[in-house]
Amino acid sequence: ALLPSETVRLVGGNSRCAGRVEVLHDGQWGTVCDVGWDLPDAAVVCRELGCGEALSAPKSAHFGEGSGPIWISDLVCTGSESTLMNCRLIGWGIEANHAEDAGVICSDNPFFRLVGGSRCSGRVEVPHNQTWMSVCDAAFDQQDAEVVCRELDCGAPVQVLGAAAFDKGDAQMWKQEIQCRGNESYISLCQTSFSLKHNCTHENGVGLFCYSDIRLVNGPDICSGRVERQYFSKWGTVCDACWDMRAASVLCRQLNCGIAVSVVGSDWFGEGSDEIWADVFDCDGNETKLSECSISSWSRAECSHKLDVGVICSGKLF
């Protein structure tokens, strides 16, 4: 593995693998002008720092304006170089404005984690200054959740949960606002805003529940079985009064299992033994994932494991 470079660094991001590009020359750190700055240039920086692949090469002082000299401009890398100094460049000492400082976001950049739940659910935390901080629920919305769940390969978000649903934790509160459009592949590609005015405490930590926390079990394959959801890190069954063919159609589509063949009772795939979740999915049947359906609650008192619902899909699609 390459050792982290001692002549290039990333400043102003949430980790050492994202930030404004700065290079060391004549004992002084300076920035890189974004004229000609592109993804191959960023790829060299990420490789030099041992930070994986380049995800983005943001311009216009995305990570804030630097100070001191602007050392390099018109950098031309093929993307295969081992260090920036192997690329063609104009340097040292450029007449330019720090508003044009170049930045990099690399793939090995842990921009968040989910804590207190499962791999696909938990309290949202982001790294800052060598520690992890909880995200304020007012700074996080459904579009942000879409990106987090996608990056974790956890399907679609079911619910964004405020009020520290997954334990309050003891982390400090990160009060910047995350501003995703919802179609980004990585949360690190989303903009952040420093304008959040909310007074956040541990009571306001945001939690997230993504939807690969749903499965079909006890069937002959992954495309048929008893419906189980994971909620607050506990797996539970779904009451058949909460489910219909339209919901089954959406589930089969989401699991890439073709079309829904049948909704069946517990006599097909057996009774569960843990929690019973009684959320009613009101689907049109055309949705691509269950999180797009309206969800309402129904009395758990009217459910038992004798009413556990199962679904049979037509089969795995590739």
Q: pLDDT tens for residues 2-39?
A: 334 578 999 987 677 888 999 998 889 999 999 999 99
Q: 231 lies in a domain?
A: yes
What per-residue confidence (pLDDT) applies to 32? 94
- The reply to whether 158 and 77 lie within a common domain is no
Residues contacting residue 137 through CB under 8 Å, at least 6 positions apart: 160, 162, 163, 200, 204, 205, 206
Q: Which of 37-41, 151-155, 201-205, 233-237 has the highest mean pLDDT?
A: 37-41
Q: 47 lies in a domain?
A: yes
Q: Round to whole Å and give the CA distance between 221 and 219.
A: 5
What per-residue confidence (pLDDT) applies to 37? 93
- The reply to whether 228 and 142 lie within a common domain is no
Q: 1 lies in a domain?
A: no
What per-residue confidence (pLDDT) applies to 318? 39
- With 60 as the cut, is the pLDDT of residue 299 above it? no
Strand pairing partners for 210? 157
Q: Round to whole Å and give the CA distance between 71 and 33.
A: 8
- With 90 as the cut, is the pLDDT of residue 131 above it? no
What per-residue confidence (pLDDT) applies to 20? 94
Higher per-residue confidence, 176 vs 74: 74
| Domain CATH for 127 | 3.10.250.10
What per-residue confidence (pLDDT) applies to 193? 72
Of 106, 129, 145, the residue that ends a domain is 106
User: Number of folded domains in the chain?
Assistant: 3
- The reply to whether 202 and 269 lie within a common domain is no
CA dist list (Å): 110 to 155, 253, 271, 284: 19, 31, 40, 37
Of 57, 74, 106, the residue that ends a domain is 106
- The reply to whether 302 and 223 lie within a common domain is yes
- The reply to whether 145 and 181 lie within a common domain is yes
CA dist list (Å): 130 to 56, 62, 106, 152: 23, 21, 17, 22
Confidence of residue 257 (pLDDT cuts 50, 70, 90): confident
Q: 15 lies in a domain?
A: yes
Please count the other Cβ atoms lying within 10 Å of the Cβ belonging to residue 90.
Answer: 15
What per-residue confidence (pLDDT) applies to 212? 59
Q: 318 lies in a domain?
A: no
Q: 146 lies in a domain?
A: yes
- The reply to whether 255 and 233 lie within a common domain is yes
- The reply to whether 127 and 185 lie within a common domain is yes
- Domain with 167, as residue range(s), is 113-209
What per-residue confidence (pLDDT) applies to 298? 63
Q: 306 lies in a domain?
A: yes
Contact 124, 140 (CB under 8 A): yes
- The reply to whether 52 and 123 lie within a common domain is no
- With 60 as the cut, is the pLDDT of residue 317 above it? no
What per-residue confidence (pLDDT) applies to 118? 64
- The reply to whether 296 and 255 lie within a common domain is yes
Of 44, 78, 106, the residue that ends a domain is 106
Q: 2 lies in a domain?
A: no
- The reply to whether 90 and 142 lie within a common domain is no
